[in-house]
Structure 1
Amino acid sequence: MAKISKRFWFQLHGWFSLPVWVLFCFICLTGTISVISHELTWLTNSHARASNPDNLPEKSKQSLINSLTSEYPTADVMSVVSYEPYLVNAIIFTDTDKPYATAYVNQYTGEIQAINQTTSFIEFMRTLHGWLYFPWQAGYSVGYYLVSAMALVIFGALATGLIIYKNFWRAFTQPKIRFGQGSKTLLKDLHTVAGVWSIWFMAIMSLTGLWYLTQAIMWHNEIDIEEHAPIVSEAQLPSSKNTQAIDLNSAITITKNQFSEFTPTYIMLPEHNRGMYSIMGAGDTVFYDGYSYSTSVNPWTGEIAASKSPETMSTLQTLSHIADPLHYGTIGGIWTKVIWFLFGVILTGMSVTGFMMYSKKLVKVKKPSSVTLNNTAETN
């Protein structure tokens, strides 16, 4: 069997990133910003800050909705979203003059701090990074495919890089960055050291990205990962129009009785008389996202029609709910976010230095040598 040369692996390593360099760099950059999008929102948008100088307890979700409907009596509330404790709750609603709006409601004071009818910074960055704002149609988005396919680029660059750079582990204990030997040497050293220190990060990004690609293929082929939300059966509908449905607070209490240490993060209210409260949240698990615990509560009977938790998830559901915390670094709060942000910056920089190195090599190959020029001159 013929031995594959190091030159081949080097060329393959370069071509894993060179043809899609701009797209890959852009996706790395937007992903890096997305990691700290909550913190950037708090820093730049005063209306989104959940100030609590008097150390007040958090109000119930129903009272927050009541605060909104007291100012906007015709509002039709669709959902309530909770972010970090230092960010306000977002109540999504429609109104006669607002086809789609989000109220920023302080969960400690009940004050409506702003009404937003545009995309928030958090949503904008996640959408830009997730599927490049390409439209969704028939269960798929070309942008989602493009972004998730970058996992193959990361994996290929990581694998070929480890083949090219022998004894790479020395960069952990003896990192070598030579500043006085020209730009080519400096770029190579920066790229090598950054790559070695980012092995674990690139592995996580490629594995989670491969899951997103698999997930995209499943969505495209109408293979369900999550079960469809149930609806109230006709037999369970109230016989009298005067019958009152249970309120949101009761539905949340029922869910908390089902799961210990439950914190609601996303709540969808019933859209019609056969709809249910869809309540999602986080528990005491570290590696699962904030939607890994959920219930569908019948608003007429107070029964839990369906529920989900890490203990009852299928393998595909488990992968779906652990991918985001690993991809965005939310497993350990602000500290892991900072680590993911720093290595996101490094990965973005590696795409730039890799392109610069390979482009310099291509220019050198294409540039005619002085011997060739002299021979051409003598011939003429």
Structure 2
Amino acid sequence: MGKAHAKKGRSLWWVVHSWIGLKLSIFLTFILATGTLAVFAHEIDWLVTPSMRVSPRPEPIASWGALADAVTRAAPQARLQTLYAPIDPWFAAEAWVSLGKGAPERIFVDPWTAEVTGRHGWANVHRFLRQVHRHLMLPTKIGIPLVSSLALLLMLSLISGIVTYKKWWRGFFRAPRGGDTRRLTGDLHRLIGLWSLWFVALIALTGVWYLVETLGGNAQVPELPQVAAGTPPVGARLDRLVAIARRSDPKLDIREIRFTPEHGVILLGQSSAWLVRDRANGAAIDPATQRVIARLDGRNLSVHQRLSEMADPLHFGTFGGLWTKVIWFLFGAALTAMAVTGTVIYATRLTKIARLDANGWKLAWRGMGIWAYIGIALVLMALALTPGAIGGAS
């Protein structure tokens, strides 16, 4: 009785696992693939945008003030919004400037010579992958819940895969068997799944968190005092503000400077708190009085706020630089491959059951039913919306 009940339970979980893997395979594969590529979106932009590439030098880099001054001289008619430190030594520094209407423009500056290397529009590979993966180019109130809901199904797929794989803990070092496509693909699917358990759980949990935030559970953002708007400080004026910010937190590694019209100059980066976004640490300074009007310290965040700040570094693997991004990319590619191999398993299984020379892929397509058309429609819709969406605000 007990064995029969357990077998029935596994069969039910198998139905759940197969339904998710087959019905949603097109949409799920697209989201997983774009998320995997998004890990290296900046690097892809670096490859296709010559002005982002610089040659590292042994001498010290130019000051923040010198970089900002170069930007304002290159675009005197624009307002400097944000200035970013280079992602890696071979990257240029990047500034966002507003021309008064429309999307910002990007200006790249050599961090050693403080010379502008080029200008670029708002649309780029990073912007495309970020928006298509996050909300399918739809309004965020619609797109984020739609994409994030896949995290719940990913978690169900994880649980059902473990339940249906008898004595799964013995399979970590079990070599895939040959013989036929179904057996080889099935063994590869299970092997990749086992080694990716931690990664699937992490992506699913952070995806669920994004869903919670969108549905009203977002953490409170610290309110900053308002100060009178003024011309963004550059040159020596900005360097003085940088020195003040560093005195207020000697461990602050400034990665981003925001020139806001209502909260002064906000200098953000990494400090004592680990595994948080740059915005969790920093100082807001009134450029008129050179007074620190607010301090941001990631160590003082509430549990709710800390979860919010941890989500992005964990989801995209950016917290450890290039090495963690390589790991996240490889496991993301493996997870995408699992979505594909799941469909292959189903196709070959149907062919065997039919005992015919029927095309397994046609049978799999038929098995997807209306969900195949929904998946393709969502992908095509996102691509169709891209030209207008990636030219909008961030």
Normalised TM-score (structure 1): 0.83
1:1-380 residue pairs with structure 2 within 5 A? 3=6, 4-53=8-57, 55-85=58-88, 86-95=90-99, 100-136=104-140, 140=141, 142-172=142-172, 174-179=173-178, 181-218=179-216, 225-232=220-227, 247-271=237-261, 274-362=262-350
Contact 1:74 1:96 in 2 (8 A): no
- Within 1, Cα distance between the matches of 2:92 and 2:70? 14
- Within 2, Cα distance between the matches of 1:30 and 1:282? 27
1:345/1:102 CA distance change after superposition, 3 Å = same
- Within 1, Cα distance between the matches of 2:113 and 2:132? 33
Q: What amino acid is aligned across from residue 295 of structure 1 in structure 2?
A: A
Q: Residues 254-282 of structure 1: CA distance to partner in whole angstroms, max 9, x if unpaired? A: 221222321222221132xx541122111
- Within 2, Cα distance between the matches of 1:80 and 1:51? 20
CA RMSD of aligned residues (A): 2.7
3-state SS of the aligned residue for 1:297?
Answer: strand
Q: What amino acid is aligned across from residue 58 of structure 1 in structure 2?
A: I
Q: What amino acid is aligned across from residue 59 of structure 2 in structure 1?
A: L
1:325/1:71 CA distance change after superposition, 3 Å = closer
- Within 2, Cα distance between the matches of 1:306 and 1:269? 15
3-state SS of the aligned residue for 2:168?
Answer: coil
Identify unmatched segments of 5+ residues in structure 1: 239-243, 370-380
> Which stretch of the first structure deviates more once superposed, 107-116 or 35-44?
35-44
1:260/1:166 CA distance change after superposition, 3 Å = farther
Larger relative contact order (CA 8 Å, sep ≥ 6): 2
Q: CA deviation at 1:193?
A: 0.5
Contact 1:265 1:291 in 2 (8 A): no
Answer 1 or 2: which has greater helix percent: 2
How much identity, in percent, do the aligned residues show?
Answer: 29
> Which stretch of the first structure deviates more once superposed, 197-206 or 58-67?
58-67
Query: What is residue 361 of structure 2 aligned with on the other side?
Result: none
Q: Residues 331-360 of structure 1: CA distance to partner in whole angstroms, max 9, x if unpaired? A: 322112111111111100000011222244
Normalised TM-score (structure 2): 0.81
Query: What is residue 241 of structure 1 aligned with on the other side?
Result: none
How many residues were matched structurally?
348
- Within 2, Cα distance between the matches of 1:270 and 1:335? 34
Q: CA deviation at 1:146?
A: 1.9
1:227/1:286 CA distance change after superposition, 3 Å = closer
Larger Rg: 1
Q: What amino acid is aligned across from residue 261 of structure 1 in structure 2?
A: K
Q: What amino acid is aligned across from residue 169 of structure 2 in structure 1?
A: W
- Within 2, Cα distance between the matches of 1:100 and 1:333? 27
Identify unmatched segments of 5+ residues in structure 2: 358-394
